[in-house]
Every structure is written in C-alpha cells, then in structure tokens.
Structure 1
Amino acid sequence: MNGTAEKFIANKDKPPFWLLHSLGWMTYVFIFTVDNVFFYREFNKLGFEVFFPLVLSGIFAALLTWPLRYIYRQCWGLPSGWLIVAIMLCSLIVSGIWTPAKNLAMWYFYEDFDVLPLIIGNPSDDFRWYMLFMSVSYAFFMIFVWSTLYFGINYHFRLINEKKLHIEAVRLSHISQIKMLRYQINPHFLFNTLNAISTLVLRGSKDKANGMLIRLSTFLRFSLDNDPEKKIRLYEELKALMLYLEIEKTRFDDRLTVKFEIEPQTEALLVPSLLLQPLVENSIKFAIAQMSSGGVIKVTAKCQNGTLQMEVADNGPVQDNAYLDAASDVKGQTASSHTGVGVQNIIDRLNVLYPDSHSFNISRGLTAGYHVKISIPMEYS
C-alpha cells in the first residue's frame, strides 16, 4: 500500500493535529491557573494577575510549537539516538524563545514591569539581561514533554494503522485460501461426472446422458452463484447435495439409496458451501461403486451442545481408501495422494474457517462402511 493511502487510513482514526495541540496548551493554562489560585488562596487574583499572563504564555507556546510539527515530520526516519538529539535541540531552541516572552508577560501583570523601555533597548539600571531566561529549564521541560507527546501519539496511531493493515492482510489471505480450496472442488467433481456422461454416451444412453448434462449445469450454476467466502444455510447445502445425487442416481440406479435424517432446526444454520458433497462423492466412489446392490449412504444433521453435528456414513466394504489417510480430529493431516483431494479440501477449509472450534472425525463402521463426522459452531443466518 502506498504512502498516500496509509496516511489517509491513519487520518481517519487520529484526531486533527490542531485539536490535540489546542487542547494540550489549554490544559497547561488550566492546570497552572488552578495552581496559582490555590497558591494565592484569593479567587479575585484570578483576573489579570494570574489568568491573563498564563493565557499569553500558552498562546506563545502554541505558536512556537506549531512549526515543530513540520520539522518533526522530517525526523521519522532518523535512528532513535539522533531522534532524541533532534528533539532536545528543538526543545532547547523553542524554550530559549518562549522563556523571555513568558517572563515579560508575567512581569508585566505580576510586577507592573514596564516592557517598553526594554523593547527599545533602554532598560533600567538594575535590570540584568540574563533575567529574561530565568526558568528556561522549566520551559525546556514543557517543550520536551510536548515533543514526546507528539511522537508518542503519532506512533500510537501508526501502530493502530499497522495492526489494521495486518488484520486486513490476514483476512484477504484467508479469503484467497478459502476461494482456492472451494474452487478446487468443481474440477474434481466435474472430471468424475463428465467421465460418467462419456460412459453413458458410449453405451448409447443418450437420454440419460442428456439428463445428466442438464443436472450438471444446474449444479454448476448453484456452485458459481454462491460466493465461496460466504457461508450458506444447511437447507441450501442439502439442495445442492440432492442435485449432485440426482446425477449419481442416473449412474447407479437402484444400487444407490440415500437416507436423510435432518433435524428441522438445523436447516437454518450456516455451513461452508459444498461441504458435504465431497464426502458423499467419496462414499459413492469407494463404497457404492464397489457393490453390486444394496448401497446405502446416510446423511444426518443435528444440534448438540451448541454445535452442529453432521455425519455422512455408508455401508460399503471396509478397505483402504481416501478416508484411511485422513486423520481423525487432527487438523491439517494430508489425505491420500491418490484420491484425497476432497477430504483434504474439507480439512483445510475447516481449519481456515473454524481454526479452534471444529472437529473432523473418520471411523470405520462396526461391520461395514465408514462414518465421517463434522462438528462446527452453530451460526444462524
């Protein structure tokens, strides 16, 4: 991001310089006015003898420190040692100008000092020029405090800006990762479906092939119309799954039976789009396709302890497949190099979307098949 954009972002959060500058010196006038009134213990002294000279002193200081803003802007890139030297030197110069002006104002109001002879160069015999610089150390301290506040406030808002930029960079990185993982699903599924359509055409089943093409286009339209960065309701996810299953039912006819056990309250909950389809696809590939008849896939969803529990189970033969290399409840585990794209895709997407609040578990059935269980936090649209 260029410097202009960075400055613009920082200026949206940081109060204007003139506001902080004015409030700072008004606070100086207020504090020392209260201090002097308390010292005199006579509130009628608040007039010309206390308030006005402090106001003039504050105005002098405000006018003298205003240009320091432009000088300090050129010092941001200095090493810390040279920066301290620059601050001390500027504070010394400004305090050397402010101290005489402040002292003259104080003498004029406090001691009825005649300023005009001094200005024209004809002071009284008992006047000593060094007296103009009395309390210069106090003035140096005040200007040094102003300078450190200037850098401290600007560093604070720069840090806030850097944190915002970092958070935005992380967010964009996550979005890119989610999109990459989501778009990985479509070519994987498309390859398998087009193979099936090609097989139907070769067998002469043109009507079935045409029906599969229509269902495929509907499914892909659903996939492309959904923003991969956003979550969808489980109801919409199940509709997409049914579109996919209609395509697969064309391939397997009576060999495939799908059962849904979906609690009504879960349908409004948010889930990552196309989360269940790769699991059903694996069950079809490694279970139903290996069976001559009686293939069953069961999809369930229920709410439990503030989480959405989803499961895809099949009754296929127990054998090595993509599931075996996907770790149960272990994030980031690499799936099978042969057929693990879908499973690994789900693991990666869950790691990005729910880094510390999900579970992904794969287990063998007691007699046959595999069970894939996903647990994510309950989120309502």
Structure 2
Amino acid sequence: MLTPDIARRFVSFWPLQIGGWTLYALATAITVAPYSHTSTEVLGIVAELGSSFLASFFLYFLCRYLWRKGVPLFRALSFCAVVSYALGVACTIASRLTQMHGSDSTLTFDWRFALTEAISVCVTLEGWSAFYFGIKHYQTVGQQKARLLAAEATARDAQLLALHYQLQPHFFFNTLNAISSLVVSNQPLLATEMIARLAALLRNTLSFPDTHTVTLRDELAVVDEYLTIERIRFGSRLRVSVDVSDEANDAQVPRFLLQPLIENAIRHAIAPSSSGGEIIISARLAEQRLQIDVANDTCELEAASTHQSHGVGLANTRARLRQIYGAHNATLVLSGETGRFMASLQLPLITEPVMSSSTAG
C-alpha cells in the first residue's frame, strides 16, 4: 500500500511527466513535419525521443537526491548538465543503432556525430532538470507560507492562553488581595511595584509584534515580570535561579514559550507546599541547538508529573513548536526524580526572528 507521501508524489509527478513529454513530442513533430524525411530518419527521431524519455527517469532520481541533500541550485544544475550530456550521448547512440538496425542500406556509426548530436538531447534534459528544481522551489515556498499561516494562528492562541493565565480568578484576585494587604500594612512602595509589574505583564501579553519569535533575553524579561509578582505573593517560599549563557540569550524562541512551564511549576509544586521550593531556569547552546531546562522542587512527583504532562499550556506549546520548527525539529520532554521535576526544551538554533505571514508576504 502506498504511503501518503509516495501517493502525493505519484499524483503530482506522472501528469507533468507524461504531459510534458507529450507536448515535447508534438513540438518535435510539428518542427520536422515541413521537411521530407526517410523512414530511417523518422525511426531515429522516435528512438531519440523514447530514449530521452527513459533517461529523464534516471535524472528524476538524481535531482530528487540532490534536492534532499540540500545541494546549492547552481551546483546541482551544473552536475545535472554533466550527467545530461552523458545521457544525451547514450540516447544518441541508441538512436543511431536503431537506425542502423531498421535500415536496408548500410549505415555506419560515427562517434563525432554522436557526441555532437548529444548536445541537443543534453539541452532538453537540462531543461527538464531546471523545471524539476523550479517546481520543488515553488512547492517549498507554498509549504513555508502555509506553515507561517498556521504558526500565526497558534501564536495568537498562545497569546490568548497567556492572557488567560494572568486574568484567571485564581491569579488575578490573589494579586489584587496582595496589593490590598500591602496598602493596609502601609507598604506603598511594594504595592506600587506590584501594580507596575502587573501592568507591564499585561502590556507584554496584549502586545503582538510582527514576529513569532523573540530573543531568549526578551522572553526571560517577560518571565521576570511574572515571577516578581509571584515573589511578592509567596515571599521566601519562592526561590528562582537563572543560569543562561550569553550565546543562548541571543537565540530566538517562540513568544510566551516559558510562561506555561513556570506557571505549572508554581501552581503544582510551589503553591501547595508550605515550605515552597526553587525554580531553576537554565539555557545553553549545544551542537547548533538551544537547550532550555525549567526545573522545580516538588514533594509529589507523580501528581506534578500528571498535572504538567496533560496541561493545556503544554499541549499548546508542543503545537507551536511543530508549526514553527517542523514535526521533529523541536522537542519538549518532561522528566522527574524524587523531589525534582524538569521540563526540557530542545530547539534549532535561530538568530533571526521568524516573521509573521503578513509581514513576510
């Protein structure tokens, strides 16, 4: 049974292959029709067309291999030109041998004729190669555009989800109560700071720039706004440690990537514990990939794992990673041991922002 990928290639390849060579054969027939040709010459033309058609299949596998290997276009076309000439010589030889076999008169084989005539076949096959790479480029651009459109939709979902985290009654009213307590206890500076942090956090959540990604440094700044509010709420029960290399700080990550992980750590590990716990955020580069780890103390590993494995925020995060980086290029792995839970992200190293589809278009 054909896989969907093979079936798609089958459907797209054969109509173009058959249709293209049929049109080429008709154009050749129209070109040679005004001139009188012997049956031997016609037989040679037909044999050359047939052998060229068969040679294009060999060229198809070669072009597909070069495309998958990511060979630069000029180098790929140059290599195909050399192969096309070799195939052209083979086609010319096949055409001449067919003429010799089907002719009553005595025909001789001339290598100079074969090498010269091979140029026309080479041009045809090289044009076939250029057409193949052109179609592949067009398909790739279409896939990238579709991926950007899907990423924009999921990014908007993530924005709304992040806003939901801030405005849910559990968080919002606790924050307001904390502010009220600070005012009543005559701590206006802390109350003012908490209001400013809350305003900044909501402003960052509501903003939507023309990129799907930001630097890790900017992402951590948003996380810090959130953690500052939570530090005021939990006091010494919440401890945070950040260990991020300078190179990792400049890497691009999806917006609001870390907040669901931090939110889950606080909700399922810090808040239920009377002694609180520590959240450790670390990031580093390894083999052209960005590794981000968010670890937290927990006394109930199984419960925390269950909550964090099936949360809406993590499902949304995984969906965004698939849309932005592809199905297998980015991973989110949850693991734990006694007293510690960790969420590990591995992303391709990107230093330029991923633009939204409206901006890219």
What's the TM-score, normalizing by structure 1? 0.51
Residue matched to 2:330: 358
Aligned positions, number: 226
Residue matched to 2:346: 375
Does structure 2 retain, via aligned residues, the 8 Å contact 1:179–1:229?
no
Q: Counterparts in 2 of 1:68-87, with a 5 A limit? A: none
Which among 224, 231, 234 is matched to residue 252 of structure 1? 234
Does structure 2 retain, via aligned residues, the 8 Å contact 1:301–1:310?
yes
Q: Counterparts in 2 of 1:24-103, with a 5 A limit? A: none
Greater C-alpha Rg? 1
Percent identity, please: 25
**Two-structure CA RMSD over aligned residues (Å):** 3.6
Partners of 2:210 and 2:269 in 1: CA distance:
29
Counterpart of 1:373 in 2: which secondary structure? Answer: strand
Does structure 2 retain, via aligned residues, the 8 Å contact 1:262–1:301?
yes
1:346 Cα deviation from its structure 2 partner: 1.5
Does structure 2 retain, via aligned residues, the 8 Å contact 1:290–1:317?
no
Counterpart of 2:172 in 1: which secondary structure? Answer: helix
Does structure 2 retain, via aligned residues, the 8 Å contact 1:326–1:344?
no
Partners of 1:167 and 1:256 in 2: CA distance:
42
1:166 Cα deviation from its structure 2 partner: 7.9
Which among 175, 180, 186 is matched to residue 197 of structure 1? 175
Q: Counterparts in 2 of 1:188-337, with a 5 A limit? A: 188-191=165-168, 192-201=170-179, 203=181, 205=183, 207=188, 208-227=190-209, 229-293=211-275, 295-321=277-303, 323-324=305-306, 327=309, 335=310
- Aligned residue identity for 1:349: R
What whole-Å deviation, never above 9, does each CA across 1:145-200 have from its counterpart, x for those lacking one? xxxxxxxxxxxx9xx99997787556434422321233211112232431222322
Partners of 1:305 and 1:249 in 2: CA distance:
35
Does structure 2 retain, via aligned residues, the 8 Å contact 1:318–1:364?
no
Q: Counterparts in 2 of 1:161-176, with a 5 A limit? A: 168=145, 171-176=148-153
1:183 aligns with 2:160: yes
Partners of 1:269 and 1:163 in 2: CA distance:
25
- Give ranges in structure 1 of 5+ residues lacking alignment: 1-23, 40-156, 328-334
Partners of 1:194 and 1:305 in 2: CA distance:
41
- Aligned residue identity for 2:177: T
Q: Counterparts in 2 of 1:106-117, with a 5 A limit? A: none
Does structure 1 retain, via aligned residues, the 8 Å contact 2:278–2:297?
yes
Partners of 1:163 and 1:276 in 2: CA distance:
30
1:341 Cα deviation from its structure 2 partner: 2.6
- Aligned residue identity for 1:186: L
Does structure 2 retain, via aligned residues, the 8 Å contact 1:322–1:343?
no
Partners of 1:299 and 1:218 in 2: CA distance:
21
Partners of 1:252 and 1:163 in 2: CA distance:
50
1:253 Cα deviation from its structure 2 partner: 1.4
Does structure 1 retain, via aligned residues, the 8 Å contact 2:334–2:343?
yes
Moved more, 188-197 or 299-308: 188-197
1:264 Cα deviation from its structure 2 partner: 1.3
Counterpart of 2:275 in 1: which secondary structure? Answer: coil
What whole-Å deviation, never above 9, does each CA across 1:343-367 have from its counterpart, x for those lacking one? 22222222222222111111113x3
Counterpart of 2:329 in 1: which secondary structure? Answer: coil
Partners of 2:248 and 2:277 in 1: CA distance:
26
Residue matched to 1:122: none
Cα distance change, pair 187–325 in 1 and its aligned pair in 2 (3 A): closer
- Aligned residue identity for 1:185: A
Partners of 2:332 and 2:255 in 1: CA distance:
16
Cα distance change, pair 195–276 in 1 and its aligned pair in 2 (3 A): same
Ranked by relative contact order (alpha carbons within 8 Å, sequence separation 6 or more), the top structure is: 2
1:251 Cα deviation from its structure 2 partner: 0.6
Cα distance change, pair 325–163 in 1 and its aligned pair in 2 (3 A): same
Does structure 2 retain, via aligned residues, the 8 Å contact 1:259–1:299?
yes
Cα distance change, pair 165–275 in 1 and its aligned pair in 2 (3 A): closer
Cα distance change, pair 205–342 in 1 and its aligned pair in 2 (3 A): farther
Cα distance change, pair 362–170 in 1 and its aligned pair in 2 (3 A): closer
Residue matched to 2:318: 347
Does structure 1 retain, via aligned residues, the 8 Å contact 2:335–2:343?
yes
Partners of 1:193 and 1:225 in 2: CA distance:
20
